[in-house]
Amino acid sequence: MPDPAVTANFSAAETALMERVFELAAKGCQTTQPNPRVGCVLVKGGEIVGEGYHGFAGEMHAEREALKHAGERARGATAYVNLEPCCHQGRTPPCTDGLIDAGVVKVIAAMRDPNPLVAGGGFETLKLAGVEVASGLLEEQARWLNRGFITRMQSGRPWVKLKSAATLDGRTADADGFSKWITGSEARSEVQLLRAESSAVVTGIGTVLADDPQLNVRLENVHRQPMRVILDSQLSMPLDAKIIGDGDNVLLFTCSDDYDKQGAFAELGVEVLHQVGDQNRLVLEEVLAELANWQCNEILLEAGQTLCGAFLQDSLVDEAVLYYGGSMLGDRGKSVFVSDAAISFDSRPEFVIQSADMIGPDARITAVHKASKARLAA
């Protein structure tokens, strides 16, 4: 729900136009990484004269696309955009220059750009050139759309989305660790989309040894495969694990000093990242900081109960996407998380449930950690 205090100064027509901007920006959800998802609509005399969105890093920004579409009709127009226009020369020229040169008279943005290279500078440049600027329209939705980019810019780590599939009573496997198809094909297809929208899919060595998964995107027309990241403190991964694929885009974190095996993985194309660790175990905060260096905005954690539990205990799960199939396994089944120590009721991690939907015969609950939600709004 939009915050009425923030949107009070904007009309219903302006709000509808910003909603169109979000539709456009969402088209880049699987491809703009590491850049933010941005859409732009140009309006003159109540009519849309140009639309655009950012598709791929290095290619034209949304504002430039919309200006190209509008041509001369951009003169005297208002630009609606979900993120403050950039004012720095990157791989493409500053969008502020494009808007000013085209004669745009007003810019309505949803939010300021958290990138330190912009951070209000875009608005200032526009104002100095005589362009009217307003910001804050549907800001909460804008922050949600770019939660990964914002988290990387502000906290120096990616947004962590945990995905798990469980029985109705929250069990992921039987007492022997066996499980197959807890949820149906619809939920499994949706997980492909979750992967496609992520910068990286992260898993633990336990899952690699148990399931030998590929963790890639198997959809038609895939433009980009997410990185696959394995956390393997002891370097126990077999050299023929399927997750390695052709070796491209695979990061292996380890504390092991087995340089021969590290070299063997490097020969396969795998990027081996060594960490001193804590008592021979990888430190998750350091892993996330390194993934931010690799320009990861959002990561999808698809791991077993050990690694998921460790992320949760370290307060590093921002969002949980939990699928529930219609069966039960009882208290001897494996749970979604294990924790090193008992979690007291008062210190339990608290989440805000955002949505609950049916996905074919299964249910999907999406929840956001309360602290992450507060950080995102700040």
Ligand X SMILES: NC(=O)c1ccc[n+]([C@@H]2O[C@H](COP(=O)([O-])OP(=O)(O)OC[C@H]3O[C@@H](n4cnc5c(N)ncnc54)[C@H](OP(=O)(O)O)[C@@H]3O)[C@@H](O)[C@H]2O)c1
- Using CB under 6 A as the binding rule, whether residue 250 contacts ligand X is answered as no
Question: What are the angstrom distances between the C-alpha of 299 and each of 22, 27, 49, 201?
Answer: 21, 19, 36, 6
Question: What are the angstrom distances between the C-alpha of 326 and each of 6, 365, 366?
Answer: 42, 14, 18
Task: Output the DSSP codes for 90-141.
Answer: SSS--HHHHHHHHT--EEEESS---STTTTTHHHHHHHHTT-EEEE-TTHHH
Of 5-13, 45-53, 133-141, 232-240, the segment contacting ligand X by CB under 6 A is 232-240
Q: Of 63, 139, 190, 197, which residue is the catalytic one?
A: 63
- Using CB under 6 A as the binding rule, whether residue 205 contacts ligand X is answered as yes
Among 64, 134, 65, 136, which residue's Cα sits nearest to residue 100? 64
User: What element of type H or E holds 20?
Assistant: helix 12-26
Q: Which of 211, 271, 286, 290 binds ligand X (CB under 6 A)?
A: 211
Pick 66 or 282: Cβ nearer ligand X = 282
Question: What are the angstrom distances between the C-alpha of 47 and each of 31, 51, 72, 109, 288?
Answer: 29, 11, 14, 18, 45
Q: Segment 306-325, which members bind ligand X (CB under 6 A)?
A: 306-307, 310
Binding mask 163-202 for ligand X (x = CB under 6 A): -xx------xx---x-x-----------------------
326-362 exposure pattern, b = at least 16 Cβ within 10 A, e = fewer: eeebeeebbbbbeeeeeeeeeeeeebeeeeeeebeeb
| DSSP label of 358 | E
CB of 335 to ligand X, least distance (A): 10
CB of 111 to ligand X, least distance (A): 33
- Using CB under 6 A as the binding rule, whether residue 303 contacts ligand X is answered as yes
CB of 326 to ligand X, least distance (A): 15
- Using CB under 6 A as the binding rule, whether residue 38 contacts ligand X is answered as no
Q: Segment 261-290, which members bind ligand X (CB under 6 A)?
A: 281-282, 284
Q: Segment 141-170, which members bind ligand X (CB under 6 A)?
A: 164-165
Q: Which residue's CB comes closest to ligand X?
A: 304
Pick 141 or 306: Cβ nearer ligand X = 306
Length of the chain: 378
Is residue 148 within 8 A of residue 295, CB to CB? The reply is no
Of 151-159, 298-306, 351-359, 361-369, the segment contacting ligand X by CB under 6 A is 298-306
Catalytic, 63? Answer yes
Rounded Cα gap, residues 39 and 49, in angstroms: 14
- Using CB under 6 A as the binding rule, whether residue 210 contacts ligand X is answered as yes
CB of 338 to ligand X, least distance (A): 7
CB of 177 to ligand X, least distance (A): 5
Ramachandran angles phi, psi of 204, nearest 5°? -105, 160
What are 363's two structure tokens?
């249910």
Pick 334 or 369: Cβ nearer ligand X = 334
Pick 38 or 208: Cβ nearer ligand X = 208
- Using CB under 6 A as the binding rule, whether residue 305 contacts ligand X is answered as yes
Binding residue count for ligand X, defined by CB under 6 A: 28
13 burial type by CB count under 10 A (0-12 exposed, 13-18 middle, 19+ buried): exposed
Rounded Cα gap, residues 322 and 333, in angstroms: 17
CB of 212 to ligand X, least distance (A): 10
CB of 334 to ligand X, least distance (A): 7
Is residue 366 within 8 A of residue 315, CB to CB? The reply is no
- Using CB under 6 A as the binding rule, whether residue 233 contacts ligand X is answered as yes
- Give catalytic residues, as residue numbers: 63
Contacting positions for ligand X (CB under 6 A): 164-165, 172-173, 177, 179, 203-207, 210-211, 231-234, 236, 281-282, 284, 302-307, 310
